[in-house]
Structure 1
């Protein structure tokens, strides 16, 4: 008889429920949240046809670890699982959630989610760390400007050498000088760490063929290429390149019911960091790139017809499609050649 398992993850322990092919509960047990402990428990209860876990911060490590140990585990969308479990009208407890996940594993009523590789998570971690460091530096700069304004001192805009020289001139003011010296010491360390993250990103880009391909596009730099390659991970998991735009939330929201049918703003679903970087790359193509190519000319036409704001969103969506097609084909960017809309597996 076939058996199916549902795993409700948490930091310390995981609630496991096993049901048979008829939906009858065979076992319910709380296990330590580690791939080894979970694999031992599942093997003790007999061969498992399929195990299901929800997307969570721990799910990549647990899912990849279980697969290495030979456990057939599937990671499913937490939003869909939440709606299904809520429809069961049971109290919100770990055993009930695990039992509901086990029933989803048995019926196959779920949406599987791709679990990214450790290399993709590593690149993503570096980009996320750099983003937080930059935000911390900006907060420090704003704090310094606010303190200076209290004393009637106005530093210049920006964050380069002129800003630092202007700030250092306020060291003679009692109280303000000591506070600024402390903040500048922290700021200097933040800038050093940001440069270290940039160095690591360049190393990642040099070692990645996908990044080298993507950086042939004008306006796409190291950070955008690394973030996109890490988010896609495996280009073949998209049947069509145009699905990449929807994956990053760059397609219009649509609601249709009977005679009602309207189209709204972009959905903003998926990876917000990659969506932001694609938007910045589109803005760079529109305002900074001196080269002339098909994508830029198309963007200029949209800007004249619909305005600059929408002229940045549209090429961001087009960039996602082009970049995915380039990863599928392994070809470099060709300025005046249309991209194939369909990615062959």
Structure 2
């Protein structure tokens, strides 16, 4: 007899259900959300051919931990599982969700999703932390501008040394304003120091990575874009075709078809938002700053001539995703043509 298991994972507890091929309940219960505890629970019953759970914050840790323990586990896209589980049970409970996931594993009505390596997740967290710090620095800069504009002063560019000097000059003789600006600038300096330290780590990582070095041969692609793209793709062999990467990153047009209705809209914007944004910025750099006579740039400018520059950037970003994936897969450099 073949058996299947479904895990409904939460931060504290995981509900587990085991069914046989015919859908008969064999065993169910709950345990703490640790790989060893889950493996002990599963070992207490018959060996399961397939174990499934949904994507989430705990998915990388559980997936790689259970695989190391020799458990055949699959991760299901949470949006697909949500639609399927709604039709399997009248009430949404953790117990019913675990049983519904087991039914999906038993019937094979699911599409497994790729779980990135822990090293790729670490890189993604590093880039996310940098973006968060930069956003906080921009917020503080805007707050400083708002404080001094009351006194009729417009500050220069925030990253120039004159920005701090001009702001503090306004606060001379104004005790409340001076204390506020000193506190904001102290926080700003701490954030700039943290961002600089992250930039140093990013540069070190890109120097050591041959993949990132090859990706950076593409005009407009810098260390952050190369590192973020390599972490998002993780394993280039999981894509059958390079053009599938555009859909994976949400850079292809949405399409809705139903009977006589059939139309295409804007890009789907599904997938990794950070990588999609970085590719869009890289496309903009290639179009506005790259002076080399590239056919790729000419192709995008032709799109801008008959449509808009925004659509040209999106099309070029999609083409860059295809090129970068091909470079990762074939381990070659970009050829300037």
CA contact (8 A) 2:89 2:96 kept: no
The residue that corresponds to 1:280 in the other structure is: 281
The residue that corresponds to 2:29 in the other structure is: 29
CA distance in 1: counterparts of 2:164 and 2:313, whole angstroms: 33
Q: Which moved more, 1:156-165 or 1:11-20?
A: 156-165
CA shift at 1:8, angstroms? 0.3
CA distance in 1: counterparts of 2:38 and 2:96, whole angstroms: 18
Does residue 108 in structure 1 map to residue 104 in structure 2? no
5+ residue gaps in structure 1? Answer: 337-345
CA shift at 1:266, angstroms? 0.3
CA shift at 1:306, angstroms? 1.0
Does residue 168 in structure 1 map to residue 168 in structure 2? yes
CA contact (8 A) 1:31 1:38 kept: yes
CA distance in 2: counterparts of 1:23 and 1:62, whole angstroms: 25
- 1:96-145 deviation per Cα after TM superposition (whole angstroms, max 9, x unaligned): 00000011111111010001011111110110000000000000000111
The residue that corresponds to 1:339 in the other structure is: none
Q: CA RMSD in A?
A: 1.0
CA distance in 2: counterparts of 1:272 and 1:93, whole angstroms: 31
Give the secondary-structure state (helix, strand or coil) at the position aligned to 1:175: helix
The residue that corresponds to 2:65 in the other structure is: 65
**TM-score, scaled to structure 1:** 0.96
- 1:284-310 deviation per Cα after TM superposition (whole angstroms, max 9, x unaligned): 001111222111111111121112111
- 1:142-166 deviation per Cα after TM superposition (whole angstroms, max 9, x unaligned): 0111111223332123332121222
The residue that corresponds to 2:306 in the other structure is: 305
CA contact (8 A) 2:248 2:271 kept: yes
The residue that corresponds to 1:217 in the other structure is: 218
- 1:176-226 deviation per Cα after TM superposition (whole angstroms, max 9, x unaligned): 111000000000000000011111111221222211110000100000000
The residue that corresponds to 2:3 in the other structure is: 3
The residue that corresponds to 1:250 in the other structure is: 251
CA distance in 1: counterparts of 2:160 and 2:58, whole angstroms: 40
5+ residue gaps in structure 2? Answer: none
CA distance in 2: counterparts of 1:175 and 1:312, whole angstroms: 47
The residue that corresponds to 2:154 in the other structure is: 154
CA distance in 2: counterparts of 1:270 and 1:62, whole angstroms: 22
CA distance in 2: counterparts of 1:119 and 1:278, whole angstroms: 22
Q: Which moved more, 1:157-166 or 1:302-311?
A: 157-166
CA distance in 2: counterparts of 1:220 and 1:208, whole angstroms: 15
**TM-score, scaled to structure 2:** 0.98
Q: Which moved more, 1:216-225 or 1:20-29?
A: 20-29
Matches within 5 A, 1:44-193: 44-172=44-172, 173-193=174-194
CA shift at 1:19, angstroms? 0.6
CA distance in 2: counterparts of 1:262 and 1:151, whole angstroms: 54
CA contact (8 A) 1:123 1:204 kept: no
Give the secondary-structure state (helix, strand or coil) at the position aligned to 1:178: helix
CA contact (8 A) 2:23 2:106 kept: yes
Q: Which moved more, 1:38-47 or 1:145-154?
A: 145-154
- Report how many residues are paired: 336
CA distance in 1: counterparts of 2:190 and 2:237, whole angstroms: 41
CA contact (8 A) 2:89 2:100 kept: no
- 1:80-110 deviation per Cα after TM superposition (whole angstroms, max 9, x unaligned): 0000000114201000000000111111110
CA distance in 2: counterparts of 1:143 and 1:206, whole angstroms: 37
The residue that corresponds to 1:342 in the other structure is: none
Give the secondary-structure state (helix, strand or coil) at the position aligned to 1:326: helix
